[in-house]
A and B are shown apart, each in its own frame.
Chain A
Amino acid sequence: MIQKTATRSPNVWFFAERTLIYALIAVFLFITLSPLAWVLSTSLKPNTEAISFPPKLLPENPTIDNYLFVLTDPALARSLINSFIISLGSTALSVAVSSLGGYAFARFEFKGKNVIMSMILGLFMIPIVINIIPLYTMLANFGLLNSLIALMLTFQILIIPLNILLMKNYFETIPIELEEAALIDGCSRLGVLRRITIPLSMPGFAIAAVLSFRFSWNEFILPVVLANRSDSMVFQVALYQFISLYRIDWGYLSAGITLSLIPVLVLMLTFQKQMIKGMTLGAIRE
């Protein structure tokens, strides 16, 4: 923590300043949390109460019926399972592929290294949505629309550039001397990877995995275009279908919303410190 004010003696200005800081933070805290709190409260209301007017802040007759509906509705349950399959698959693929690439950048000197690196950084700037039309025509012509595998592969473009950068920076924090010492002691290249590099890089893998999962689980535009048939639908798209299918049922929808934010929320809150550290590394080294 930065010691900026502690050395000064407390005075009126100091307390006024502190009050202002905490007041602004409190306002922002309220703005951040109230929409989600409102959704959470609605998800526990019976459907008649959900859109009652005047609105009730807290449910009068709390119920978990909305959650039961979402979890037992065949189409919604299917889409939840699809989301887990795709997110886990895409996370595993992304961490594997990006680690290999990151390792190449961290440990090797080779021709075209800088060109390839700046190309990858440039790709991070390319907005994926511009590719939805060509991707749609490509996959349609190969008969790969509504394929979970195709979705996992397309999700990679959201995350690989960032993860390669992240893993490269992470590998660079591991002293190369450790690896060299092990080589001299008669360890094989593969043995070095298995015994030294991989165990030491676990925190890096964790950040990359959390980010991949977050991007895959939350992605909406790619799946709504590339996989909107009921058997290949992901959960975000299933939620969107609430608009077109029926008059929006806010009780069910808010339960769906709450369910869908749990996995990512748990992951992000668990790894929050590492995320900030990862970002600092990423930006400083650039």
Chain B
Amino acid sequence: MPSIFEKAEPYLLLTPALAILLVFLIFPLFWNIYISLHDVSLTTILREWEYIGGTNFINLFNDPNFYTSLKITLMFVGGSVALQFGIGMLMSVLLHQQVKASGVLRAIFIIPWTISAVIAAFSFKFILDYNFGILNYLLNEIGLQSVGWLSDPSIVIWSLVIANVWYGTPFTILFLTAGLFSINPTIYEAAVIDGATKIRSFIHITLPLLKPFIVIDLILITIWSVNFFDIQLIMTGGGPLFASTTASLYMYRQAFEFGLLSKGASAGIVLIAINLSIAFIYHKLLRR
């Protein structure tokens, strides 16, 4: 007969984890709303917070830089997701074609994802430097002009996409590789006997079976790209001016560069809405 203790046991086991998540993840999520309805800046943070209603949101939507940041987010996320997924899919499938030393190759391909975004950002900042970066040097060698990878407002965001693709693609490789290994190889043998070509069996067998992995992978890399700003902060600080300030970096800069914590918090709430819409759209489009 189960005692009271035995009934309570699973809850007791879960308590530490849930307590930490509640205090540091769930509560702050709602606390965001409270901050966004008050006037809080880095200088007034320890004083009484004045309630100002929707003023922060009005300021936010009257700020042209905010719209710029939304547009830049779209470019950054679109470029990053398309390239990360495309290259990641290609590489995980290629590595699955009885390639020699595929285990070692997979281990090497995962390296960029195991290191920190700080390292990825600095490495590319160094390579793309206008004056002594090796990329401009190579361009000059073949007779081309130096490119302002990080200083030209119309190019800078694509330089950041390159760095983010280098950094993020390994996750898709790792994740889709796990998916490919979960497919029973005998299915392919049957297809080969039936005379199916590789491309046909990829489209008709691999893709459908891989779909759950593809859906989760796309949701994760999209949401991560929307919210990610380590690379932008280190490589350009969002500049020149706001040319590489994505919405997530906009939130950070408002709060910790200009000290406007509550304006940042209201941008954070817009970000939450964007995240929820992404998850919802993918869910509707792909889960069927």
Contact = CB atoms under 8 A, between A and B. Distances in A.
Interface stretch (A67-75, A136-144, A195-203): A136-144
B185 to A, nearest CB: 4
Interface string B131-175: 110100100000000000000000000000000001000100011
Interface residues of A, number: 95
Contact of A261 (B27, B115, B137): B115
Contacts of B226: 127
Given A130-B271, A157-B21, A284 B132 contact: no
B29 A130 contact: yes
Interface in A66-120: 96-98, 100-101, 103-105, 108, 110, 113, 116, 120
B75 interface: no
B25 A126 contact: yes
Given A25-B94, A100-B16, A275 B227 contact: no
A254 B29 contact: no
Contacts of A141: 45-46
Interface string B29-60: 10110010000100001100000000000000
B21 A264 contact: no
23 contacts: A21-B94, A24-B94, A32-B109, A32-B170, A36-B111, A38-B123, A42-B126, A53-B132, A101-B16, A105-B10, A123-B21, A131-B24, A133-B35, A134-B35, A135-B28, A137-B31, A137-B35, A138-B28, A220-B118, A243-B234, A265-B114, A268-B111, A283-B212
A218 interface: yes
Residue among B94, B98, B115, B216 with max Cβ neighbours from chain A (10 Å)? B115
Contacts of A28: 87, 91, 109
Contact of B24 (A22, A153, A276): A153
Interface of A: 1-8, 21-22, 24-25, 28-29, 31-33, 35-36, 38-39, 42, 51-55, 96-98, 100-101, 103-105, 108, 110, 113, 116, 120, 123, 125-138, 140-141, 153-154, 156-157, 160-161, 164, 214, 217-221, 225, 236, 239-240, 243, 250, 253-254, 257, 260-261, 264-265, 268-269, 272-273, 275-277, 279-280, 283-284, 286
A180 B230 CA distance: 49
Contact of B107 (A3, A5, A42, A269): A269
B88 to A, nearest CB: 10
Contact of A3 (B110, B114, B189, B234): B189
A130 B32 contact: yes
- The B interface is mostly helix, strand or loop, or mixed, namely helix
A100 B14 CA distance: 6
